[in-house]
Amino acid sequence: MKEVYTFEDLSSRAVLDAGADKPARLAVIGHPIAHSASPRMHQAALDACGVAARYIRIDVEPGHVAEAFERMRDLGFIGCNVTVPHKLEAMANCEVSPGANALGAVNTVCFGGGVTRGFNTDGPGFRNAVEDDFGIDLASLKVVILGAGGGAGQAIATQCVMLGVPKLVVVNRSLEKLGPLVERMRNHGSRSEVIALSFEDLALHEHCLGADLIVNTSSVGLKAGDPSILPDACLRAEHLVYDTIYQPAVTPLLAVAMSVGCRTSNGLSMLINQGALAFQYWFPEAQPLAVMRKALGHLSAG
Protein backbone atom coordinates (compact mmCIF):
# COMPACT_ATOMS: atom_id res chain seq x y z
CA MET A 1 0.00 0.00 0.00
CA LYS A 2 1.21 3.48 -0.81
CA GLU A 3 0.89 6.76 1.09
CA VAL A 4 0.22 8.50 -2.24
CA TYR A 5 -1.09 6.89 -5.43
CA THR A 6 -0.72 8.34 -8.90
CA PHE A 7 -2.98 8.70 -11.90
CA GLU A 8 -1.15 5.70 -13.45
CA ASP A 9 -2.14 3.54 -10.46
CA LEU A 10 -5.76 3.94 -11.58
CA SER A 11 -4.98 1.54 -14.45
CA SER A 12 -6.33 -1.58 -12.73
CA ARG A 13 -7.63 -3.02 -9.46
CA ALA A 14 -4.58 -5.29 -9.29
CA VAL A 15 -2.24 -2.29 -9.22
CA LEU A 16 -4.41 -0.14 -6.98
CA ASP A 17 -5.11 -2.76 -4.34
CA ALA A 18 -1.75 -4.57 -4.33
CA GLY A 19 -0.84 -5.49 -0.76
CA ALA A 20 -4.13 -4.16 0.65
CA ASP A 21 -6.80 -6.11 2.50
CA LYS A 22 -9.64 -3.90 1.27
CA PRO A 23 -10.36 -2.25 -2.08
CA ALA A 24 -9.81 1.50 -2.53
CA ARG A 25 -13.25 2.95 -3.21
CA LEU A 26 -12.85 6.56 -2.08
CA ALA A 27 -10.02 9.05 -2.53
CA VAL A 28 -8.88 12.63 -2.34
CA ILE A 29 -7.31 14.01 -5.50
CA GLY A 30 -5.00 17.03 -5.54
CA HIS A 31 -1.53 18.18 -6.51
CA PRO A 32 0.42 17.98 -4.24
CA ILE A 33 -1.57 15.69 -1.97
CA ALA A 34 0.89 13.98 0.42
CA HIS A 35 -0.03 16.33 3.29
CA SER A 36 -3.79 15.70 3.16
CA ALA A 37 -5.44 14.80 6.48
CA SER A 38 -8.58 13.57 4.72
CA PRO A 39 -7.67 9.83 4.59
CA ARG A 40 -7.25 9.68 8.34
CA MET A 41 -10.73 11.01 9.11
CA HIS A 42 -12.55 9.29 6.25
CA GLN A 43 -10.90 5.92 6.92
CA ALA A 44 -11.92 6.18 10.57
CA ALA A 45 -15.51 6.86 9.47
CA LEU A 46 -15.49 3.96 6.98
CA ASP A 47 -14.15 1.60 9.65
CA ALA A 48 -16.71 2.82 12.21
CA CYS A 49 -19.52 2.21 9.70
CA GLY A 50 -18.21 -1.28 8.91
CA VAL A 51 -17.61 -0.47 5.22
CA ALA A 52 -14.83 -2.67 3.84
CA ALA A 53 -13.13 -0.03 1.73
CA ARG A 54 -10.03 2.18 1.72
CA TYR A 55 -9.87 5.96 1.28
CA ILE A 56 -6.60 6.87 -0.48
CA ARG A 57 -4.64 9.91 -1.68
CA ILE A 58 -4.15 10.24 -5.44
CA ASP A 59 -1.78 12.80 -6.93
CA VAL A 60 -3.42 13.98 -10.15
CA GLU A 61 -1.67 16.57 -12.29
CA PRO A 62 -3.68 19.51 -13.65
CA GLY A 63 -5.41 18.63 -16.91
CA HIS A 64 -6.13 15.01 -15.92
CA VAL A 65 -9.16 15.40 -13.68
CA ALA A 66 -11.76 14.27 -16.26
CA GLU A 67 -9.75 11.15 -17.04
CA ALA A 68 -9.17 10.44 -13.35
CA PHE A 69 -12.94 10.60 -12.77
CA GLU A 70 -13.50 8.21 -15.67
CA ARG A 71 -10.96 5.71 -14.36
CA MET A 72 -12.31 5.88 -10.81
CA ARG A 73 -15.83 5.33 -12.09
CA ASP A 74 -14.70 2.34 -14.18
CA LEU A 75 -12.93 0.89 -11.13
CA GLY A 76 -16.10 1.11 -9.04
CA PHE A 77 -15.21 4.05 -6.79
CA ILE A 78 -18.07 5.47 -4.71
CA GLY A 79 -16.75 9.02 -4.96
CA CYS A 80 -13.87 11.32 -4.15
CA ASN A 81 -12.88 14.58 -2.58
CA VAL A 82 -11.21 17.23 -4.68
CA THR A 83 -8.67 19.67 -3.33
CA VAL A 84 -6.24 22.35 -4.57
CA PRO A 85 -5.75 22.99 -7.48
CA HIS A 86 -8.58 20.89 -8.97
CA LYS A 87 -11.80 22.39 -7.60
CA LEU A 88 -12.54 24.31 -10.81
CA GLU A 89 -11.42 21.54 -13.18
CA ALA A 90 -13.67 19.14 -11.27
CA MET A 91 -16.57 21.54 -11.72
CA ALA A 92 -16.08 21.52 -15.48
CA ASN A 93 -16.24 17.72 -15.57
CA CYS A 94 -19.33 16.73 -13.62
CA GLU A 95 -23.00 17.52 -13.08
CA VAL A 96 -22.77 20.39 -10.64
CA SER A 97 -25.22 20.82 -7.76
CA PRO A 98 -26.84 24.26 -7.35
CA GLY A 99 -24.84 24.83 -4.13
CA ALA A 100 -21.50 24.03 -5.75
CA ASN A 101 -22.45 26.17 -8.71
CA ALA A 102 -23.15 29.15 -6.45
CA LEU A 103 -19.90 28.59 -4.53
CA GLY A 104 -17.97 28.30 -7.80
CA ALA A 105 -16.08 25.10 -6.90
CA VAL A 106 -16.54 21.34 -6.41
CA ASN A 107 -14.87 19.53 -3.50
CA THR A 108 -16.97 16.35 -3.33
CA VAL A 109 -17.88 13.95 -6.13
CA CYS A 110 -20.27 10.97 -6.25
CA PHE A 111 -20.05 8.34 -9.00
CA GLY A 112 -23.33 6.53 -8.25
CA GLY A 113 -25.89 5.68 -10.95
CA GLY A 114 -23.49 6.14 -13.85
CA VAL A 115 -23.44 9.91 -13.36
CA THR A 116 -20.57 12.00 -11.96
CA ARG A 117 -22.13 14.53 -9.60
CA GLY A 118 -20.25 17.40 -7.94
CA PHE A 119 -21.02 19.11 -4.63
CA ASN A 120 -19.38 21.67 -2.38
CA THR A 121 -19.19 21.07 1.37
CA ASP A 122 -16.64 23.82 2.16
CA GLY A 123 -19.21 26.58 2.55
CA PRO A 124 -21.78 24.52 4.51
CA GLY A 125 -18.89 22.99 6.51
CA PHE A 126 -17.85 26.47 7.61
CA ARG A 127 -21.41 27.28 8.64
CA ASN A 128 -21.58 24.11 10.74
CA ALA A 129 -18.15 24.82 12.23
CA VAL A 130 -19.30 28.26 13.43
CA GLU A 131 -22.42 26.68 14.91
CA ASP A 132 -20.37 23.95 16.65
CA ASP A 133 -17.62 26.23 17.95
CA PHE A 134 -19.57 29.33 18.92
CA GLY A 135 -23.16 28.08 19.19
CA ILE A 136 -24.31 30.82 16.82
CA ASP A 137 -25.96 30.78 13.41
CA LEU A 138 -23.58 32.24 10.84
CA ALA A 139 -26.59 33.75 9.05
CA SER A 140 -27.09 36.24 11.90
CA LEU A 141 -23.54 37.62 11.98
CA LYS A 142 -21.78 40.66 10.56
CA VAL A 143 -18.68 39.08 9.05
CA VAL A 144 -15.22 40.32 8.01
CA ILE A 145 -13.17 37.97 5.78
CA LEU A 146 -9.44 38.63 5.61
CA GLY A 147 -7.79 37.30 2.43
CA ALA A 148 -11.06 36.77 0.61
CA GLY A 149 -9.29 36.53 -2.78
CA GLY A 150 -8.15 32.92 -2.24
CA GLY A 151 -10.19 29.74 -2.74
CA ALA A 152 -11.26 29.30 0.89
CA GLY A 153 -12.13 32.98 1.20
CA GLN A 154 -14.34 32.94 -1.87
CA ALA A 155 -16.24 29.86 -0.69
CA ILE A 156 -16.84 31.31 2.78
CA ALA A 157 -17.77 34.75 1.42
CA THR A 158 -20.27 33.24 -1.00
CA GLN A 159 -21.74 31.04 1.74
CA CYS A 160 -22.23 34.14 3.92
CA VAL A 161 -24.10 35.94 1.13
CA MET A 162 -26.20 32.86 0.33
CA LEU A 163 -27.23 32.78 3.98
CA GLY A 164 -28.03 36.49 3.85
CA VAL A 165 -25.70 37.69 6.62
CA PRO A 166 -26.58 41.31 7.45
CA LYS A 167 -23.15 42.59 6.45
CA LEU A 168 -20.08 41.10 4.79
CA VAL A 169 -16.75 42.92 4.49
CA VAL A 170 -14.24 41.19 2.21
CA VAL A 171 -10.63 42.31 2.58
CA ASN A 172 -7.72 41.44 0.32
CA ARG A 173 -4.14 42.59 -0.20
CA SER A 174 -4.81 42.99 -3.93
CA LEU A 175 -8.20 44.66 -4.21
CA GLU A 176 -8.58 43.86 -7.92
CA LYS A 177 -8.84 40.13 -7.10
CA LEU A 178 -12.11 40.84 -5.28
CA GLY A 179 -13.86 42.41 -8.31
CA PRO A 180 -15.39 39.27 -9.84
CA LEU A 181 -16.29 37.86 -6.40
CA VAL A 182 -18.11 41.02 -5.35
CA GLU A 183 -19.85 41.21 -8.71
CA ARG A 184 -21.11 37.62 -8.29
CA MET A 185 -22.19 38.24 -4.71
CA ARG A 186 -24.08 41.42 -5.55
CA ASN A 187 -25.85 39.61 -8.42
CA HIS A 188 -26.93 36.87 -6.08
CA GLY A 189 -29.96 38.87 -5.03
CA SER A 190 -29.09 38.47 -1.36
CA ARG A 191 -30.04 40.97 1.32
CA SER A 192 -26.43 41.13 2.55
CA GLU A 193 -24.60 44.44 2.43
CA VAL A 194 -21.24 43.68 0.76
CA ILE A 195 -18.16 45.89 1.12
CA ALA A 196 -14.71 45.27 -0.41
CA LEU A 197 -11.57 46.78 1.10
CA SER A 198 -7.81 46.52 0.87
CA PHE A 199 -5.76 46.15 4.05
CA GLU A 200 -4.57 49.76 3.59
CA ASP A 201 -8.09 51.19 3.63
CA LEU A 202 -8.56 53.51 6.61
CA ALA A 203 -12.15 52.25 6.99
CA LEU A 204 -10.90 48.73 7.86
CA HIS A 205 -10.60 49.59 11.56
CA GLU A 206 -14.18 50.82 11.83
CA HIS A 207 -15.64 47.93 9.82
CA CYS A 208 -13.81 45.44 12.03
CA LEU A 209 -15.00 47.07 15.24
CA GLY A 210 -18.57 46.88 13.95
CA ALA A 211 -18.32 43.17 13.05
CA ASP A 212 -19.32 40.07 15.04
CA LEU A 213 -17.09 37.49 13.35
CA ILE A 214 -13.61 37.97 11.88
CA VAL A 215 -12.30 35.17 9.66
CA ASN A 216 -8.79 34.72 8.30
CA THR A 217 -8.83 32.83 5.00
CA SER A 218 -5.40 34.05 3.86
CA SER A 219 -2.23 31.99 4.12
CA VAL A 220 -0.72 34.50 6.57
CA GLY A 221 -0.04 32.60 9.79
CA LEU A 222 0.94 29.30 8.17
CA LYS A 223 4.67 29.94 8.31
CA ALA A 224 6.72 30.44 11.47
CA GLY A 225 7.50 34.13 11.87
CA ASP A 226 4.38 35.33 10.01
CA PRO A 227 2.80 38.42 11.57
CA SER A 228 -0.85 38.70 12.62
CA ILE A 229 -2.78 39.63 9.48
CA LEU A 230 -4.79 42.33 11.31
CA PRO A 231 -3.65 45.34 13.35
CA ASP A 232 -4.28 44.53 17.04
CA ALA A 233 -6.45 47.63 17.46
CA CYS A 234 -9.05 46.12 15.10
CA LEU A 235 -9.96 43.47 17.67
CA ARG A 236 -12.26 43.82 20.66
CA ALA A 237 -13.23 41.26 23.30
CA GLU A 238 -16.73 40.72 21.88
CA HIS A 239 -15.40 39.44 18.55
CA LEU A 240 -15.59 35.84 17.46
CA VAL A 241 -12.34 35.12 15.60
CA TYR A 242 -11.94 32.13 13.28
CA ASP A 243 -8.70 31.25 11.50
CA THR A 244 -9.09 28.72 8.66
CA ILE A 245 -5.48 27.63 9.29
CA TYR A 246 -5.22 24.67 11.68
CA GLN A 247 -1.49 24.06 11.61
CA PRO A 248 -0.27 25.83 13.70
CA ALA A 249 -3.31 25.49 15.96
CA VAL A 250 -2.78 29.02 17.30
CA THR A 251 -1.83 31.51 14.59
CA PRO A 252 -0.52 35.00 15.44
CA LEU A 253 -4.03 36.37 14.75
CA LEU A 254 -5.58 33.90 17.20
CA ALA A 255 -2.88 34.61 19.79
CA VAL A 256 -3.71 38.33 19.71
CA ALA A 257 -7.45 37.59 19.72
CA MET A 258 -7.06 35.36 22.79
CA SER A 259 -5.06 38.05 24.60
CA VAL A 260 -7.84 40.56 23.88
CA GLY A 261 -10.43 38.13 25.29
CA CYS A 262 -12.15 37.08 22.06
CA ARG A 263 -13.68 33.63 21.56
CA THR A 264 -11.54 31.89 18.95
CA SER A 265 -11.41 28.77 16.83
CA ASN A 266 -9.30 27.34 14.02
CA GLY A 267 -9.81 25.54 10.70
CA LEU A 268 -9.84 22.07 12.19
CA SER A 269 -13.59 22.33 12.80
CA MET A 270 -14.15 23.39 9.18
CA LEU A 271 -12.01 20.50 7.94
CA ILE A 272 -13.99 18.02 10.02
CA ASN A 273 -17.40 19.47 9.16
CA GLN A 274 -16.75 19.62 5.42
CA GLY A 275 -15.48 16.03 5.65
CA ALA A 276 -18.55 14.84 7.53
CA LEU A 277 -20.88 16.45 4.95
CA ALA A 278 -18.89 14.85 2.11
CA PHE A 279 -19.13 11.44 3.79
CA GLN A 280 -22.89 11.88 4.06
CA TYR A 281 -23.14 12.38 0.30
CA TRP A 282 -21.63 8.90 -0.07
CA PHE A 283 -23.39 7.33 2.94
CA PRO A 284 -26.51 9.39 3.68
CA GLU A 285 -27.38 7.45 6.86
CA ALA A 286 -23.96 7.93 8.51
CA GLN A 287 -23.23 10.25 11.44
CA PRO A 288 -19.43 10.47 11.12
CA LEU A 289 -18.71 13.77 12.91
CA ALA A 290 -17.62 12.42 16.30
CA VAL A 291 -15.43 9.68 14.80
CA MET A 292 -13.77 12.15 12.44
CA ARG A 293 -13.16 14.63 15.26
CA LYS A 294 -11.47 11.90 17.28
CA ALA A 295 -9.39 10.76 14.30
CA LEU A 296 -7.96 14.26 13.88
CA GLY A 297 -7.64 14.98 17.59
CA HIS A 298 -3.85 14.95 17.31
CA LEU A 299 -4.03 18.13 15.20
CA SER A 300 -5.84 20.15 17.85
CA ALA A 301 -2.65 20.33 19.89
CA GLY A 302 -0.89 21.93 16.93
Catalytic center residues: 87
Residue 151 in the binding site for ligand ATR (CB under 6 A) = yes
Residue 150 in the binding site for ligand ATR (CB under 6 A) = yes
Q: Which residues contact 287 (CB under 8 A, 6 or more apart)?
A: none
In the complex with ligand ATR, the residue whose CB is nearer, 118 or 147, is 147
Q: Which residues contact 157 (CB under 8 A, 6 or more apart)?
A: 145, 148, 168, 170, 181, 185
How near is the Cβ of 229 to ligand ATR at its closest, in Å? 6
In the DSSP assignment, the letter for residue 51 is: -
In the complex with ligand ATR, the residue whose CB is nearer, 47 or 201, is 201
Residue 31 in the binding site for ligand ATR (CB under 6 A) = no
| Binders in 167-186 for ligand ATR, by CB under 6 A | 172-174, 177
Q: Exactly one of 104, 147, 275, 288 binds ligand ATR (CB under 6 A); which one?
A: 147
Residue 153 in the binding site for ligand ATR (CB under 6 A) = yes
| Binders in 209-268 for ligand ATR, by CB under 6 A | 218-220
Query: How many CB atoms lie under 10 A from the CB of residue 164?
Result: 14
Phi then psi dihedrals of residue 216, to 5 deg: -95, 120
Q: d(Cα 55, Cα 45) in Å, to the nearest integer? A: 10
Phi then psi dihedrals of residue 60, to 5 deg: -115, 125
In the complex with ligand ATR, the residue whose CB is nearer, 172 or 265, is 172
The secondary structure of 128-141 as a DSSP string is: HHHHHHHSS-GGG-
In the complex with ligand ATR, the residue whose CB is nearer, 30 or 124, is 30
**End-to-end Cα, the chain, rounded Å:** 28
Residue 201 in the binding site for ligand ATR (CB under 6 A) = no
Per CB under 6 A, residues contacting ligand ATR are 84, 147, 149-153, 172-174, 177, 218-220
